[in-house]
Amino acid sequence: MTRWRRAPDALWRSLDGSVLVLGPDADEPVEVQGPAAGLWDLVADATTLDDAAAELAQRHGARVEVVAADLDPVIERWAADGAIVTA
């Protein structure tokens, strides 16, 4: 399973339970809320989608499968924008 971590040149700001992330290959920042906002904290250290989903599901009292499905497009977008890279 792929391990993801923040790209060192990604810009970000945490705002009232949401996170704005601008990758070096993006024209506009991506804003995420809820469990997906916690994903940014988890990719400070390398993590997998499965590990992140399990951690965030526990924090938010949600099913792991639901959280993983919500996180997958966020990871895809951040990877395409260069905000996260493989570890």
Which of the 8 DSSP states describes residue 83? S
At 1-47, the pLDDT tens digits run 899 999 999 999 999 989 999 999 999 999 999 888 999 999 999 99
Distance between start and end Cα atoms, the chain? 11
Contacts of 14 (CB under 8 A, 6+ apart): 37, 40
Q: Model pTM?
A: 0.93
Sign of dihedral through CA atoms 24, 30, 33, 39?
A: negative
Q: Where are the domains of the chain?
A: 3-81
Confidence of residue 74 (pLDDT cuts 50, 70, 90): very high
